[in-house]
Amino acid sequence: MNTKLNSVNLRLSSLTVFRNILSTKEMSAFLRFLSCEGNLREKLNLYGEFVYSLSPYGNSFSGFLKKVVCEDENIFIVSKAKKKDVPSSVEKNLNEELSLFTLLSEITPEMLFEGEGYEGYIPFFENEKTDFTALYKERAEKVDTLGYGIFASKAMFKVEDGQIVPVDSADEISLDSFVGYEKERETVEENTVALLEGRDAVNVLLCGDAGTGKSSTVKALVNHYYSYGLRLIELRKDQLFSLSHIMGKIADNPLKFIIFIDDLSFNKNDDCFSMLKAALEGSASAKAKNALIYATSNRRHIVKESFSERGGDDIHRNDTVQELLSLSDRFGLTVYFQKPNKILYLDIVHALAQRKGVKMDEKELDIKAEAFALAKGSRSPRVAEQFIKNLR
């Protein structure tokens, strides 16, 4: 191995601030290649493994480095996010390691086989010289909106086995894709902006008929305000037991979070009821100052109750009934998405038809749209969208 690559190998092995990067399969493959002292065939095999590992990044080494460096959760970026002083030793190590990443972004395939006497084909990979010191310092200054760790490159997340993980194929819906319900969305948006600006904001229940855009409204807001530091973590109802754990994980993060619970409803004896109630009432263990709960439900009273349960043997039956039915009232804001009337439904159809380039006489379009809604059993934005898709 030539002297320059040997130096790169040694410097990589001594990473401290960005040491997590060494455990990625891409960097591990690169290190195995650099450390190979076997024959040329083995070296080429390890090189091929390294280049193959870059496939998810457009076959780009610099693309891989940008992602892992910017998303790394380390002592420097966490200290910056928490407005804590960074030890001078950490600053020195950081600068040295960032200069190393800049050097790596200049490496070419030919350089890696220099002095090997190999004249055969060397597989190519992309690499673009990048000033990692400037790139990372800029991100550190904007950590309040750009985030760090897993929150640095995705807007939406879910919980698996108690861990927060990114949603790879998240809904990319935008605010300008909606027709109708402007007032309802504006109400939710104003509350979301208040959260981002550090003003008083409240938990929100979006309730109403199916297909009226409740869930889409929340996701569109997150997409729109992603660059302002907004993220979404979706919890299923059966995961509400992990709510306090999730809140604890994000409590010190400079970003703002919406804890999203879609299609929420409870049975009378549902064990998750108390956890959500504690969060909505402000229990210290189930809240974070940088997070709000947004839930959707097709029911105004989100606790299901049968008539037989109303006549049970509870001595304080009325108090129990009121507790169950008033859970929705514990949300600071309730926004209703009612089923559209015929005029609004057709307005939505017309707007979608124009947007999708549908050419049809308006009267004929109205007749077909109404017939489609009749067959579906209701009018809604979702039904209007399905109708337009069926026409194309």
pLDDT (tens place) for every residue of the chain, 392 residues total: 577 888 999 999 999 999 999 999 999 999 999 999 878 999 999 999 999 999 999 999 999 999 999 999 999 999 999 999 999 999 999 999 999 999 999 999 999 998 888 889 999 999 999 999 999 999 999 999 999 999 998 999 999 988 999 998 888 889 888 888 889 999 999 999 999 999 999 999 998 888 888 999 999 999 999 999 999 999 988 888 888 889 999 988 999 999 999 988 766 556 666 667 767 776 555 568 899 999 998 765 455 544 344 444 444 444 444 444 566 677 889 999 888 888 888 888 888 888 888 888 888 888 888 888 888 888 888 888 888 888 86
Q: Are residues 182 and 320 in the same domain?
A: yes
Structural domain span for residue 214? 158-337
How high is the pLDDT of residue 185? 93
The total of structural domains in the chain comes to 3
* Beta strand 163-166 pairing with 156-160: antiparallel
Q: Would residue 151 count as lying in a domain? A: no
Q: Do 264 and 307 fall into the same domain?
A: yes
Are 202 and 333 within one domain? yes
238 and 369 assigned to the same domain = no
The whole model's pTM is what? 0.80
Q: What is the amino acid identity at position 246?
A: I
Q: Is residue 210 part of a domain?
A: yes
- For position 365, what pLDDT does the model report? 85
- Using one digit for the tens of pLDDT, what is the confidence trace for 199-246? 999 999 998 888 888 999 999 999 999 999 999 999 988 888 888 889
Any domain includes 150: no
Q: Is residue 271 assigned to a domain?
A: yes
The verdict on 138 and 208 lying in the same domain is no
- Residue with tokens 């077909």, as numbered in its chain: 368
382 within some domain? yes
Predicted pLDDT of residue 226: 96
